[in-house]
Amino acid sequence: MRRCVKCKGEAAVHLKSKNASFCGEHFVEHFLNQVERAIKKFKMLSPGERVLVAVSGGKDSLALWDALLSLGYEAEGVHVDLGLGDYSAGSREACQEFARRRGAKLYLFSVVETYGVSMREITARNRRATCSVCGTVKRYLMNRLVQETGHRVVATGHNLDDEAAALFGNLLGWQEGYLARQYPYLPPSHPGFPARIKPLVRLSEFETRTYCQLRGLGYLGDGCPLAKGASSLFYKELLNSLEERMPGSKLRFLFGFLEEGRSRFADVPVELKECEICGQPTTASTCLFCRLMQRAGLDPLTRPQVRQVV
Ligand code: AMP
Ligand code: ZN
Ligand code: ZN
């Protein structure tokens, strides 16, 4: 029988990457410590600070929201309803249920209410990787929201597996610009825009799933239907095979880069102009968001519909 490294009681979880076992209570403590450690190391938040959590209804962002509240941060949520049938209905319900249970505030953006079409349509009308289109729209919506709510920081649930896979992809194509910007804390790109943080950067998918189970958080298990076949999923499989043979390699790969490698791709200062259409900072004459919207035959200046639902 494995024993908890903290209390020597019967272990409920074994982490091969750290060669350590925990009982339920001490695993939750370990998880919160890892979140707090990332927040301190990358100077993400000051104690008790207000933060807006982008919640998809999946395990990572709900674990993050729960952890931030448990650590005493004033964490509010925002969910983007992509209009993808049962998947989106289930995602929204998981976010609302959590907000009600924890007595936290939740904002909702509906892509269909705002643009009249679902995210499936918007991505189909653009010839670009689906997740990059969807990510650009979601970021735009977050930037708009904080101008109303006054949040300084937006947090996302990207975990160790996500970040290691992204790093692998960026290295594979030697994408220097992306490598320079891959960091768990990104300062505001423009006055009035939020900083972006990834407090789960030290925690694996296995750890966030286990945390949700132990804390009784109801999350939507299915991944986004639009992400099927995304190359990041394949990179995760590759890195998991590596991790299986060499436990701890994912954490070493990512943190080696963050601590030693990234500075070599140091941000080349880029000259930003204002987008001709919406005024957002951009390196081109029109920003990516406006170009995506136009290609989808939609008006980039449509005012996003947001409401507080909990
Ligand atoms: P993904 O790329 O789907 O793994 O999502 C990464 C992170 O983006 C999640 O952990 C959330 O913080 C955020 N996110 C993804 N989808 C949504 C959504 N529909 N609404 C709000 N935030 C989201
Ligand atoms: Zn214990
Ligand atoms: Zn624009």
Cβ pair 141, 113 in contact under 8 A: no
Q: Which two tokens stand for residue 265?
A: 């791709």
Cα 284 to ligand 3 centroid, rounded to whole Å: 10
For residue 113, report the distance from its CA to the centre of ligand 3, in Å.
Answer: 20
CA of 297: how far to CAs of 54, 80, 119, 122, in Å?
27, 21, 13, 9
CA-223 nearest atom, ligand 1? 3
Question: Where exactly are the structural domains of the chain?
Answer: 40-260+302-309
**In the predicted structure, residue 29 carries a pLDDT above the cut 80:** yes
Q: Would residue 4 be called left, alpha or beta, if left means φ above 0 and alpha means ψ between -120 and 50 degrees?
A: beta
Q: Which atom of ligand 1 is nearest to the CA of 131?
A: 2
Separation of CA 6 and ligand 2 centre (Å): 5
| Ligand 1 interacting residues, C-beta cut-off 6 A | 54-56, 60-61, 79-80, 82, 138, 156-158, 162, 224
Look at residue 268 and tell me whether its pLDDT is greater than 80.
no
How does residue 220 score in pLDDT terms, banded at 50, 70 and 90? very high
Percent of the chain at pLDDT above 90? 84
pLDDT band, very low/low/confident/very high, at 267 (cuts 50, 70, 90) = low
Residue 61 CA to ligand 1 centre (angstroms): 7
Average pLDDT of every residue of the chain: 95
- Beta-bridged to residue 52, according to DSSP, are 76, 154
Q: What is the mean pLDDT of residues 297-308?
A: 94
CB < 8 Å & 24+ apart, contacts of 91-96: 91/56, 91/57, 91/58, 91/220, 92/57, 93/57, 94/57, 94/58, 94/62, 94/218, 94/219, 94/220, 95/55, 95/56, 95/57, 95/62, 96/309, 96/310
Contact 157, 184 (CB under 8 A): no
Instruction: Specify the residue with its C-alpha closest to ligand 1, atom 16.
Output: 56
User: What is the Å distance from ligand 3's center to 141 Cα?
Assistant: 12
- CB atoms < 10 A from the CB of 47, how many? 10
Contact 69, 43 (CB under 8 A): no
Higher pLDDT: 270 or 32? It is 32
Instruction: Note the pLDDT of residue 229.
Output: 75
Reported as a single tens digit per residue, the pLDDT across 35-69 is 999 999 999 999 999 999 999 999 999 999 999 99
- pLDDT higher than threshold 90 for residue 129: no
The side-by-side arrangement of strands in the sheet containing 50-54 is 185-186, 195-197, 153-155, 50-54, 74-81, 106-110, 306-308
CATH of 40-260+302-309, one of 3.40.366.10, 3.40.50.620, 3.40.47.10, 3.40.50.720: 3.40.50.620
The angle that helices 160-172 and 231-245 make with each other, rounded to 10 degrees, is 110
Cα gap 258→293, rounded to integer Å? 34
Of all ligands present, the nearest one to the C-alpha of 301 is 3
The pTM for the full model equals 0.96
Task: Looking at the CA of 190, name the nearest ligand.
Answer: 3
Query: Does 282 have pLDDT greater than 70?
Result: yes
Q: Which tokens sit at 133?
A: 């289109």
